[in-house]
Amino acid sequence: MKYKITLLFVLAVLIINTSSLAQVDTFAYAKNFELQKSQYAGLPMSSLLSNMGGLQFLSVFSGINVKNKYHIPYSTFFFEAPGNRFYQGVIGVTIHWQTPILSTDVQYYRNRNHAYFTNEERQFYGTKIIKDIKVYRR
Amino acid sequence: MFLSKYFLVLFLTFFVLSITILNQGCKKIGNREELMVSEGNIEEFLKLPANSSLELKVVLADLRRQLSRQNFAAQFVQWHGQPQWSKAIKLHGKGGFFSLLIPCIKTNKVTTFIVASQKLGGGILFELHRRSSLDNKIPEYSYIGLNPNKVKNYFSLLELNLQGKELPSQSGSTASSVNDECFYTWWQWEICPMTLTKGEVDTLTPTNNAVAIIQYCWVEHTYEWPDCEPGTGNPSGGGGGGGCTNCPQPPDCLNPYWYSFVPVEDPCDDNPPNPPTLTPCERVILGCQKASALFKASQQPNMAARKAEITSQFFPNIERCFWFGKNLSTDLILTTTNILPGPAGNNITVTPYPPSSLGQLLTYGAAHTHTDSGYSAPSPGDIYNFRWVNSINSNFWDYFNFSSGQNEYAFIVTDTVLFRNFGLNWSPDVYFDDSTGDWKEGTEIFIAKQNAFDYFVEVMNKTEDEAFELAQAFIARKYQTGLTIAKMDAQGNFKPIFVNEISDSSNPSNKTYQQTIICNLNFIVIEL
């Protein structure tokens, strides 16, 4: 009985550590793109997407410009599905665009795919030119 | 033995005498047992003649609200007698819209008069002046700004007025100083004299002079008390209108207006109970009522007209603004400036006072437009802008923004301390990005706003405008701005917007957001 409890405890600790490590790894992974932003600035987003490994974006949310709601100045990409994006501490990669994206274009994809980062989004955003990259925990 | 008995008798006599003197020196009308009366009928207590003045209606509306929270009508009548609302006289005091003196009678005598004063910001302040205080030589104070030396004379004036004894209206006395205790200047609600010109008629009276119906006006009266001895409060002296420069300073009190007004209290009471204070949810209700009234044509025609003008056209990329306030502190109808366009780029800054080119005004607030390319709801810049103008002009408490499609918003100040501290706790240098008009990217507030915005767009299928409005309402509460965002409904009434952040019970780190009609400001459920 005693051994079983110990085993369960060790397993729990391992699971928690693994989950934390995964978060740390995701953060470090995303931060790496921020550190190398000068390498991507001025290039289409497809260059960044092609350099990504196994960890891919699963959702995208639009930023806003309070002074002009028709222009999307930045978008934030998550390694989580849209439904999990509202967990505290999830990591978002915010990409500012060289030229703001028209909100009508973004709305088209939002209505179609509901914030999922599908191949359609990959193609749409892939052509947009990166101005800056910032990484935040939400 | 004999001496000790004698001493005991002497001591008891002294003790009884002391108690008697103390009681005499602090004689009260009624006693504690008499207070145990049933609740009075509020509407009976507040009953007004149909032709009453708007000022009186405003005062009674405030009193009705207070009575609905604590019904002291019966106690009041028992202590002070029934207020004679229709016998109220009006004074134009300094700094407020108006002051009404309302006599209360008991056994055919004016025992007390209520002073109801509308102050900047629209609230009504009350205080009581008791004949028993005068009889017992208890010092008179006034927190509202009435000259305490004149209280005795006001009693005489109200008594004469109540008895229907007409004091002659005199001309040429109105120039007398409000500190001149030999002159009274006051207004009575009476049938308008035929000779009264339109300019002399109070602005709130019916204005259709062409129709042969009986109209009531505030008619000015002045009276010079004969054999007056200024500065003494002598009953044979007289009094003018407002406060005085050398009046005795009232003692400190948490809420002096309530201290003086709540009828179960008395100047003889040493320790008044803590006065009731408004909760943030109550402030929201009152604030919305006040904001709504500001744009009702029946109450504020200038404001309603200017709002109609500014919302008739929204220019692309250019926000426009007008300021409002009073020309004189006694005005009841607010004045507005002309409309001023801001610079291109949806970037108007509301200033604490209108530019001098638009004329001078005792400025209470401003309204500006948001263009179609901007979001309808108040922006982060608006929060900081409002905070800034209020820090410079302490009378500036009303901040509106109008957008097309009848999206019209007001900031309701629910906590002045939080409002004033917001800029210190969340400095615009750190949390605001002037170039985007948004919260500064990456900051805590920015992330919180973006989370709420994304949730309302993606999960709740709101439009971006709706999501921005809800996200801003959420931020206003979460970051304790002391403000609540209210939106005007189709009936022209501002309604507060409340948003809750809810943690998933199975996974607290998962946040959802929900709009609610339940006031969430003080964690007391008040359905609005």
- Tens of pLDDT along B434-446? 888 999 999 999 9
Q: Report the C-alpha gap between B124 and B65 in whole angstroms.
A: 11
Q: Report, as an integer, the average pLDDT of B441-463.
A: 93
Q: What's the first-to-final CA gap in chain A, in angstroms?
A: 42
Q: Report the C-alpha gap between A81 and A62 in whole angstroms.
A: 15
Interface membership of B145 toward A (CB under 8 Å): no
Most B CBs within 10 A among A16, A23, A69, A74, hence the mutation to make, goes to A69
Chain A residue with CA closest to B512: the answer is A86
Chain A residue with CA closest to B459: the answer is A83
Quick one: pLDDT at residue B166? 66
Chain A residue with CA closest to B373: the answer is A68
Instruction: Please indicate, yes or no, if residue A44 is contained in any of the structural domains.
Output: yes
Q: Please choose, from the candidates B451, B447, B454, B346, the residue with its C-alpha nearest in 3D space to the C-alpha of residue A68.
A: B346
Higher-pLDDT residue of B400 and B69 is: B400
Chain A residue with CA closest to B452: the answer is A86
Q: Name the phi and psi angles at B332, rounded to 5.
A: -100, -30
B370: how many CB neighbours lie within 10 A of its CB? 26
Interface membership of B441 toward A (CB under 8 Å): yes
Contact B319, A66 (CB under 8 A): no
Q: Report the C-alpha gap between B261 and B257 in whole angstroms.
A: 6
Look up residue B403 and give its two tokens.
């957008």
Interface membership of A26 toward B (CB under 8 Å): no
Instruction: Please indicate, yes or no, if residue A79 is contained in any of the structural domains.
Output: yes
Quick one: pLDDT at residue B487? 98
Interface membership of B437 toward A (CB under 8 Å): yes
Flag whether pLDDT at B274 surpasses 50.
Answer: no
B231: how many CB neighbours lie within 10 A of its CB? 14
Q: Which residues in B125-160 are b (16+ Cβ under 10 Å) and which e?
A: bbbbbbbbbeeeebebbbbbbbbbbbbbbbbbbbbe
Quick one: pLDDT at residue B240? 31
Contact assignment for B436 to A94 by CB distance below 8 Å: no
Interface membership of A131 toward B (CB under 8 Å): no
CA distances from B198 to B150, B201, B329, B369, B505 (A): 31, 5, 20, 35, 67
What is the nearest CA distance from B308 to chain A, expressed in angstroms?
A: 24
Mean pLDDT of chain A, nearest integer: 86
- Percent of chain B at pLDDT > 70 equals 71
Cα within 13 Å of Cα(B329), Cβ side: 15
Positive or negative torsion for Cα B141, B144, B149, B155: negative
Q: Please choose, from the candidates B102, B141, B96, the residue with its C-alpha nearest in 3D space to the C-alpha of residue B117.
A: B96
ipTM of the complex: 0.83
Flag whether pLDDT at A19 surpasses 50.
Answer: no
Q: Report the C-alpha gap between B353 and B366 in whole angstroms.
A: 9
**What is the count of structural domains for chain A?**
1
Distance, CA of A30 to chain centre: 8
Helices within B340-495 (DSSP H only): 380-392, 416-425, 428-431, 444-454, 464-478
Interface membership of A115 toward B (CB under 8 Å): yes
Higher-pLDDT residue of B357 and B16 is: B357
Quick one: pLDDT at residue B167? 61
Any idea what DSSP says for residue B148?
A: G
Give the orientation angle of helix A119-126 with respect to helix A103-113, to 10 degrees.
Answer: 170
Amino acid in position B330: T
Q: What is the dihedral of CA B102, B106, B110, B115, to 10 degrees?
A: -30
Flag whether pLDDT at B83 surpasses 70.
Answer: yes
Residues of chain B numbered 335-354 and touching chain A (CB < 8 Å)? 345-347
Contact assignment for B468 to A64 by CB distance below 8 Å: yes
Higher-pLDDT residue of B385 and B79 is: B385
In A1-138, at which residue ranges do the beta strands (DSSP E only) sit? 59-62, 71-78, 91-102, 130-137
Contacts by residues B204-213 (CB-CB < 8 Å, ≥ 24 positions apart): B204/B53, B204/B54, B204/B55, B204/B332, B204/B333, B205/B53
Nearest Cβ partner of A69 from B373, B451, B511?
A: B373
Q: Rg for chain B (alpha carbons), in Å?
A: 28
Q: Report, as an integer, the average pLDDT of B367-389.
A: 95
B298: how many CB neighbours lie within 10 A of its CB? 8
Flag whether pLDDT at B424 surpasses 60.
Answer: yes
Residues 6+ apart with CB under 8 A from B16: none
Any idea what DSSP says for residue A116?
A: B
Q: Please choose, from the candidates B312, B313, B336, the residue with its C-alpha nearest in 3D space to the C-alpha of residue B324.
A: B336
Q: Report the C-alpha gap between B498 and B506 in whole angstroms.
A: 24
Largest CA distance in chain A: 65
Higher-pLDDT residue of B380 and B229 is: B380
Quick one: pLDDT at residue A65? 92
Instruction: Please indicate, yes or no, if residue A126 is contained in any of the structural domains.
Output: yes
Contact assignment for B451 to A76 by CB distance below 8 Å: no
3-class DSSP state of B350: coil
B85: how many CB neighbours lie within 10 A of its CB? 24
Most A CBs within 10 A among B444, B458, B460, hence the mutation to make, goes to B458
Look up residue B119 and give its two tokens.
């102050």
Quick one: pLDDT at residue B40? 58
| Chain B residues within 8 A of A23 when measuring between CB atoms | none
| Chain A residues within 8 A of B438 when measuring between CB atoms | 64-66
Q: Please choose, from the candidates B124, B137, B192, B186, the residue with its C-alpha nearest in 3D space to the C-alpha of residue B158.
A: B186
Instruction: Please indicate, yes or no, if residue A108 is contained in any of the structural domains.
Output: yes
Look up residue A70 and give its two tokens.
């028709």
Q: Among A106-115, B203-212, B269-278, B404-413, which is the least confidently predicted range?
A: B203-212
Most B CBs within 10 A among A66, A80, A95, A137, hence the mutation to make, goes to A66
Helices (H) and strands (E) in chain B, counts: 14, 19
Flag whether pLDDT at A96 surpasses 90.
Answer: yes
What is the nearest CA distance from A129 to chain B, expressed in angstroms?
A: 20
Distance, CA of A75 to chain centre: 9
A26: how many CB neighbours lie within 10 A of its CB? 18
Residues 6+ apart with CB under 8 A from A92: A61, A76, A77, A78, A85, A135, A136, A137, A138
Flag whether pLDDT at B24 surpasses 60.
Answer: no
Instruction: Please indicate, yes or no, if residue A9 is contained in any of the structural domains.
Output: no
Any idea what DSSP says for residue A6?
A: H
Contact B91, B186 (CB under 8 A): yes
Mean pLDDT of chain B, nearest integer: 77
Q: In terms of residue numbers, what domain contains A108?
A: 26-137
Residues of chain B numbered 154-193 and touching chain A (CB < 8 Å)? none
Size of interface A-B (CB pairs under 8 A): 76
Instruction: Please indicate, yes or no, if residue A99 is contained in any of the structural domains.
Output: yes
Chain B residue with CA closest to A134: the answer is B442
Q: Which residues pair with A97 in a beta bridge?
A: A130
Q: Report the C-alpha gap between B121 and B397 in whole angstroms.
A: 7
Look up residue B263 and give its two tokens.
């009828």
Instruction: Please indicate, yes or no, if residue A19 is contained in any of the structural domains.
Output: no
Q: Which residues pair with B156 in a beta bridge?
A: none
Contact B221, B186 (CB under 8 A): yes
Distance, CA of B214 to chain centre: 31
Flag whether pLDDT at B399 surpasses 90.
Answer: yes
Q: What is the pTM of this model?
A: 0.60
Look up residue A82 and give its two tokens.
């849209």
Interface membership of B511 toward A (CB under 8 Å): yes
Q: Please choose, from the candidates A107, A111, A102, A124, the residue with its C-alpha nearest in 3D space to the C-alpha of residue A57.
A: A124
Most A CBs within 10 A among B372, B436, B443, B501, hence the mutation to make, goes to B436
CA distances from B285 to A69, B316, B386, B488 (A): 31, 34, 20, 13
Amino acid in position B333: I
Interface membership of A104 toward B (CB under 8 Å): no
Higher-pLDDT residue of B47 and A38 is: A38
Instruction: Please indicate, yes or no, if residue A88 is contained in any of the structural domains.
Output: yes
Interface membership of A82 toward B (CB under 8 Å): yes
Q: Report the C-alpha gap between B121 and B60 in whole angstroms.
A: 17
Contact assignment for B510 to A68 by CB distance below 8 Å: no
Which range has the top average pLDDT, B246-255, B324-333, B422-431, B501-510? B422-431
Residues of chain B numbered 446-465 and touching chain A (CB < 8 Å)? 447, 450-451, 453-455, 457-459, 464-465
Q: Report, as an integer, the average pLDDT of B385-393.
A: 95
Flag whether pLDDT at B2 surpasses 70.
Answer: no
Q: Report, as an integer, the average pLDDT of B140-144.
A: 71
B82: how many CB neighbours lie within 10 A of its CB? 16
What is the nearest CA distance from A37 to chain B, expressed in angstroms?
A: 17
Interface membership of A69 toward B (CB under 8 Å): yes
Contact assignment for B451 to A138 by CB distance below 8 Å: yes
Quick one: pLDDT at residue B211? 43
